[in-house]
Structure 1
């Protein structure tokens, strides 16, 4: 298993085919992102089932992959349609996944992305406050 195989799965991932993830992850996988730390395939599987049950759509456009030995990186743009974000419109989030492999499966998966870009900036009221703060910081 390598970053190309993982990228291939994520390119086609949707609500109807979450079973594609099962062979990808090691039973003792550690998954981290800006809001979560999950340990074990059972927790990660539940996370994905919950995530995809609450969204209209979540797709990944893979930009680039790099790997050296048992460690690699994938850059991506996620297109997320959630009923509570942007009135159900599409939110685009740029991110990077750091992956480590063991025994032919992903043992470590860490996603790096701007939680503000994904969530806070797309919520009513709070979004305009966050955008104003970012604008003022850029002056």
Structure 2
């Protein structure tokens, strides 16, 4: 475990241009002394580590979007929730009843205004929808933030 942590610290130091001590105690068999980890770390290893970190961050963002939570204000939320915080069903974006509106695919072509799914086409605080309740025009949706 200590060797793994030392290797990660060494790689981080090299990636950040800090250099540093990349020696760890040798514990292999009867060998005693120190092993210089910098000799086994190549520039390609560092590039791979950086790419893996970027891929992991991207996967985490995609997982968040698919899992049903939203990031920021939820402008890119494309989950499948179609229910408001008070439990009202969302009105379809391509319908004008019971509420007439201008939030249509034609007016907001990159907002994912499909079916009756919660979206944030106009930069509100979080995803929302028009409701099917004629007494309540619109409401934020029951979606957790990530």
TM-score (ref. length: structure 1): 0.22
| Larger relative contact order (CA 8 Å, sep ≥ 6) | 1
Q: Max radius of gyration: which structure?
A: 2
Structure with bigger strand share is: 1
